[in-house]
Amino acid sequence: MAVGVFDSGLGGLTVYEAVAKRLPDVAFVYYGDNAHAPYGVRDAEDIYQLTCRGVERLWAEGCDLVILACNTASAAALKRMQESWVPKNKRVLGVFVPLIEALTERQWGDNSPPREVAVKHVALFATPATVASRAFQRELAYRAIGVDVEAQPCGGVVDAIESGDEILAEALVRSHVEALKRRMPHPEAAILGCTHYPLMQKAFQEALGDNVAVYSQANLVAESLADYLTRHPEFAGPGKVSKFLTTGDPVSVSSKATQFLRHPIKFEAA
């Protein structure tokens, strides 16, 4: 048994890298649905069906706990999955809550009423589907009041990353940041609301300026998972060897993953 990490493509590898570093004794199975990426331009039903299919594949690998390392899936599918689909002996967790808890400076599992927080102007960069779901704003409202969120749908960025075109991805990041700044000239914090975007974190930071705090999810999710497994050690399992599965071409996906992470990653066909 291992812990599953699900993503629409390559982006979730940023989360995998962080959780594997934080929890070196835990085995992980990574599933990238590269054949259907990007999810951010799909409708909610399509995202739900594809996410369920991927999670079932990870369950078949013995992963009773699955992290949806995909903001689009977390936004468009997770609530419905948890309410009506996930069996009692399985767990499927998303990536939004650890990010919002860090932004609002709340401890893991703090369920106290929403309160005023220091950051008042937040830029959210996400896929069109994540922006349309308003899931980030909904989760934030459970924990904070008086925060102005300006969301920028970042069309094309995931496609560029998945195709291995870093130059295009950087150009698109600059364009999307400029578009957001026309509506919110002085954000105090920026949320990289897609697990692909940390691969472009330097470009986001440069376009936003050094005075903007940029939050990405990988390390925050890793800390949250470590806390969860401390409280629920039965979901860690005895496995020791991690593996990587893709619905795309394993050779091509391995090459692009190696390019972005700058160390070898070998995928197998899912």
Active site residue 154: no
Q: CB–CB of 188/210 below 8 Å?
A: no
| Among 52, 63, 154, 194, the one annotated catalytic | 194
SS3 of 166, please?
A: helix
Q: CB–CB of 38/127 below 8 Å?
A: yes
DSSP-derived secondary structure for 29-71: EEEE-GGG---TTS-HHHHHHHHHHHHHHHHHTT-SEEEE--H
Q: CB–CB of 15/68 below 8 Å?
A: no
Alpha helices in the chain (DSSP H): 13-22, 44-60, 71-76, 78-84, 96-103, 128-133, 135-141, 157-162, 166-183, 201-208, 218-231, 250-261
Active site residue 63: no
Residue closest to 253 by CA, chosen among 83, 15, 22, 30 = 30
- Taking residue 226's Cβ as centre, other Cβ atoms within 10 Å add up to 14
Distance CA 191, CA 213 (A): 9
- Taking residue 20's Cβ as centre, other Cβ atoms within 10 Å add up to 18
Distance CA 256, CA 244 (A): 13
Distance CA 183, CA 29 (A): 41
Residues serving a catalytic function are: 70, 194
